[in-house]
Amino acid sequence: MSAETISLVRRALTHYRDNTTDQAPGTMQMPVDAYLDPNRYAAEVERIFKHLPLALALSLELPEPGSYRALTMLEVPVLMVRGEDGVVRAFLNVCRHRGAKLCPDGADKTRLFSCPYHAWSYNHRGELVARYAQESFGEVDAATHGLTELACAERSGLIWVSLTPGEQFDVDQWLGDFAAELDTLDLANWHLFEQRVLPGPGWKVTMDGYLEAYHHNVVHGRTVGQHTIGNLLVLDTYGPHQRLTFGRKTLSELEDTPESEWNPLEHVRLIHSGFPNLSISGILGDHCLVSHIIPGPTPETTTTRQSILVAKRPETPAEIAASENFSAMVLQAVQDEDYGIGLGIQACLDSGANRDFVFGRNEPALQNYHKWVAWFMKQQADVNWSDSGT
């Protein structure tokens, strides 16, 4: 176990003993308009979601050459495919003949992508390699009719993509020290147990719920809150990305155990929050919840792609039942509890009850997140975000 892990658990244990939590220097006001204004929303989605690298898929969804994942993100049809060389590339999922959607959203494996309209075919590098009845069609320059590529990089078990064609990014710069932190999760070697899409409230209301421990005992007493200590947060930041550490209920056992005998990660719960819309939550040791929050067409809605990961494929009836129970628990915690509250907030945002929301000192990750949203909105597209801080 690393010295960093020990020190992390020491910090959590100190908070537990002292009944404290990491805090921001002060409370923070946030105008409710930031959640409501459609023009502001459109500008933020454009600047933040369309021009920053987004983790669109998990490496484990594309396990071998020819594995692909197609999805639509903010009305951008994206096709990610692993080539024979092992490299994942991303394209607009649109045929270069007359614009048919090349393959339906979903994940599968294929040798070639053949368009459902007139059967133009593309390989894993997006190259146009065959055209149905090409003699009668006439000349087409294959070199200029490949699929439109999107900048794409695979790091730390995730596939990062820019939604804007022609825009490049440096994934190492984007992640900074967060990459090494994500690497400790070894995400690429987990297995997908279940995946589903949940409708939820607006982007900011939804994200807010992923960024604090303050609500845990109140909202999740019968689900994930059974395992974690409410209102105890240890926070580490990596530029706009954050690692939230919650204490598990078993943390107190460490009080009477020598550090040399600690198995520290059994006593905390780590949440890796990738700006702007990714949450990787290790709720129980061998199960993990990955949430991709996808803004809707208006400020009022999102969808969340929930991926339930298992460290080892369940085989025995008891293992399968444990994974099914975990999946059902997080579904209830997120859909019924978090999004139940969130949809209620969303419905009352324009009631006039609040001109501002207040983020507590015990909600520092929430404060950071909104500061980073504001920071990105002030920058030009070519900004070097690693220069800044919160």
Contact footprint for ligand FES (CB under 6 A): 95, 97-100, 115, 117-120
If one counts every other C-beta atom within 10 angstroms of the C-beta of residue 351, the result is: 8
**Closest separation between CB of residue 94 and ligand FES, Å?**
9
- The nearer residue to ligand FES, 78 or 103, going by C-beta atoms, is 103
Site for Fe ion in 270-309 (CB under 5 A): none
Three-class secondary structure of residue 146 per DSSP: coil
Amino acid at 114: S
Cβ atoms of residues 162 and 168 within 8 Å: yes
CA distances from 132 to 97, 101, 123, 125 (A): 11, 17, 15, 19
**Closest separation between CB of residue 118 and ligand FES, Å?**
3
Cα gap 371→117, rounded to integer Å: 46
3-state DSSP percent of the chain in helix, strand and coil, to 5: 35, 30, 35
Question: Using CB distances below 5 to 8 A depending on partner kind, what does residue 60 bind out of Fe ion, ligand FES, none?
Answer: none
**Residue in the block written with tokens 């939804």:** 206
Residue 338 as a binder of Fe ion (CB under 5 A): the answer is yes
**Closest separation between CB of residue 315 and ligand FES, Å?**
43
Stretch that binds Fe ion, among 44-52, 142-150, 192-200, 338-346 (CB under 5 A): 338-346
**How many angstroms separate the most distant Cα atoms in the chain?**
81
Residue 208 as a binder of Fe ion (CB under 5 A): the answer is no
Question: Using CB distances below 5 to 8 A depending on partner kind, what does residue 117 bind out of Fe ion, ligand FES, none?
Answer: ligand FES
**Closest separation between CB of residue 151 and Fe ion, Å?**
33
- The nearer residue to Fe ion, 95 or 289, going by C-beta atoms, is 289
- The nearer residue to ligand FES, 101 or 191, going by C-beta atoms, is 101
What residues pair up with 269 in beta bridges, in sequence order? Answer: 246
Sheet holding 106-109, edge to edge: 106-109, 67-73, 76-82, 88-92, 149-150
Burial label for 56, CB within 10 Å (0-12, 13-18, 19+), is buried
Stretch that binds Fe ion, among 27-35, 80-88, 96-104, 333-341 (CB under 5 A): 333-341
Question: Using CB distances below 5 to 8 A depending on partner kind, what does residue 366 bind out of ligand FES, Fe ion, none?
Answer: none
CA 318 to the chain's CA centroid: 29
**Closest separation between CB of residue 347 and ligand FES, Å?**
42
Question: Using CB distances below 5 to 8 A depending on partner kind, what does residue 94 bind out of ligand FES, Fe ion, none?
Answer: none
- The nearer residue to ligand FES, 97 or 361, going by C-beta atoms, is 97
Cα gap 55→173, rounded to integer Å: 14
Closest CA to 38 of 276, 358, 349: 349
β-pair type (278-284, 268-274):
antiparallel
- The nearer residue to ligand FES, 81 or 158, going by C-beta atoms, is 81
Question: Using CB distances below 5 to 8 A depending on partner kind, what does residue 338 bind out of ligand FES, Fe ion, none?
Answer: Fe ion
Question: Using CB distances below 5 to 8 A depending on partner kind, what does residue 97 bind out of Fe ion, ligand FES, none?
Answer: ligand FES
**Closest separation between CB of residue 313 and Fe ion, Å?**
28
Binding site for Fe ion (CB under 5 A): 338
